Amino acid sequence: MSLPNSIRRSMFETMVRSRFWDDRLTEQYWIDKTPVFAFGAGPLPGELHTSHGQEPVGAGVCAALSDEDMITTGHRPHHIAVARGVDLREMSAELFGKKAGLSGGRGGHMHLYDRRVNFSSSGIIAEGLGPAAGMAFARKMQKKSGVALSFLGDGAVNQGAFHEVMNIVGLHKLPFICVIEDNKWAVTTHKSMSTACERNSDRAENYGMTGEFVEGNDPELIYLATQRALERARSGEGGTILEIETVRLSGHFMGDPAGYITGEKSEYQVDPVPVYRARLIDDGILTEQEASDTERVIGAEVDEAIKFALDADYPDARDALNCTFA
């Protein structure tokens, strides 16, 4: 099935926007962190888990969603947040701990929240599954539209929360999609050493759900698979475990040299952004000039967002305990 040119262009733009944002964040992250690496140094302290390589997942899934659909995700949320339309200026400010951030600078890069686009993330592994299932349950009970999606990595699938939530989703036929980003690594542990089955999507049958595996880190195949899962959820057929083959091009976090990705394990380390760019040019969807113009415009947008964040004020220390409930 061929996708409309407008969707293909839009997914490319989303991938570029996510990549450029991560690139700019990486530049800021390393300020004052050399020659001695220290998490707390520089304008962007703490851990940073970028999405380099996983951009097709965010672009392909989110392009198929509607406004009423809801998302939870984990500690590597940038590509999904960008694709969902989270405000780039406010999100940048949040990462830099500024008052203008999505949560006033309290959340950082792993805890992003934007109710305007039904998006949230959490640094706790597999934590987003339960809240997403709760949203799906609420929509079903209230007879309202909307499908809940929860993104997690292939390592997080081995948490107990996965089994508990999938059982509830299958039992009640909830409008829910579990999106597993299979980059083959749980921090530094390869999937072959941590997971008994080759494909986590095969687990779906045990929960009365549909399982689908998408190969190749291809945004168009991801988009079509998401459409099928959404159609099942909206028609009352229940949930889907959608496992998407993707790639983590860098270490688990900034500062991880990823020396463990060697030999055969490095063969699939293919950058999807230039691959998709070349594909659209070959298919006549974009010209080289149009692709370059798109990159220039998006680059300026990202630079402006980073500048906004750097120039923004830090919150007043006296407000540190505000919005704290425990």
- Euclidean distance between CA atoms 112 and 121, whole angstroms: 5
Q: What's the token pair of residue 317? A: 């220390």
Give pLDDT, residue 219: 98
How sure is the predictor about 38, in pLDDT bands with cuts at 50, 70 and 90? Answer: confident
CATH (residue range 5-251+260-310): 3.40.50.970
Reduced to 3 states, what is the DSSP secondary structure of residue 241?
A: strand
How sure is the predictor about 240, in pLDDT bands with cuts at 50, 70 and 90? Answer: very high
Mean pLDDT, residues 156-179 taken together: 97
Mean pLDDT, residues 290-319 taken together: 96
- Euclidean distance between CA atoms 211 and 240, whole angstroms: 6
Give pLDDT, residue 26: 97
Which own/partner contact pairs does 166-172 have at CB distance under 8 Å and 24+ positions apart? 166/203, 166/204, 166/207, 166/209, 166/239, 166/241, 167/207, 168/133, 168/137, 169/133, 169/136, 169/207, 169/209, 169/238, 169/239, 170/207, 170/208, 170/209, 170/238, 170/239, 171/208, 172/137, 172/140
What does each C-alpha distance from 280 to 219, 226, 288, 299 come to in angstroms? 12, 21, 10, 19
Whether the CB-CB separation of 105 and 318 falls below 8 Å is answered with no
Whether the CB-CB separation of 182 and 243 falls below 8 Å is answered with yes
Give pLDDT, residue 326: 62
The residue with tokens 């230039």 is 274
Kindly list the domain boundaries of the chain, sorted by start residue.
5-251+260-310
Q: Bridge-partner residues for 70, per DSSP?
A: 148
Mean of the per-residue pLDDT values for the chain?
95
Q: What's 203's DSSP letter? A: G
